[in-house]
Amino acid sequence: MAKPEKPLTGDALVKEVCRRIRVARSYWDAHNNAACRGERERALVLYDRLTKEQKDRIPQQLRVWLRYRSEKYFGAHRTPPKSKRKRHTRGRKPRRGV
């Protein structure tokens, strides 16, 4: 079992926020929207814990992506992703000549 982690503070918290944003951006670049959405949510939770001085230490490029660009695609105004459901093929005829 994994041991419980101490809550991040100070420099470790800033570093973890930057890491999470970079991971989310890499998922975004790879067109993996579900993973990007999850990492972005985790980054936002940590980002909201930062003080103003700590937020200023996050590189501007990362802050802009987290707050504005990603909000455009993953914000609350967007339709949430649908759950992956298995399609039932019962009662359908098999395809021929494929």
- pLDDT higher than threshold 90 for residue 66: no
| In contact, 36 and 28? CB cutoff 8 Å | yes
Query: Which structural domain, as residue segments, surrounds residue 70?
Result: 10-74
pLDDT above 90 as % of the chain = 38
Query: Which pair of structure tokens corresponds to residue 94?
Result: 């098999």
Asked, for residue 21, whether it belongs to a domain, the answer is yes
- pLDDT higher than threshold 60 for residue 1: no
Query: Which pair of structure tokens corresponds to residue 35?
Result: 């993973």
Asked, for residue 5, whether it belongs to a domain, the answer is no
What's the distance, CA 46 to chain centroid? 12
pLDDT digits (tens, 9 = 90+) for 6-47: 777 788 899 999 999 999 999 989 988 888 888 988 999 999
Asked, for residue 85, whether it belongs to a domain, the answer is no
Between 92 and 61, name the one with better pLDDT: 61
Asked, for residue 1, whether it belongs to a domain, the answer is no
Asked, for residue 55, whether it belongs to a domain, the answer is yes
Q: How many structural domains are present in the chain? A: 1
Asked, for residue 90, whether it belongs to a domain, the answer is no
Asked, for residue 39, whether it belongs to a domain, the answer is yes
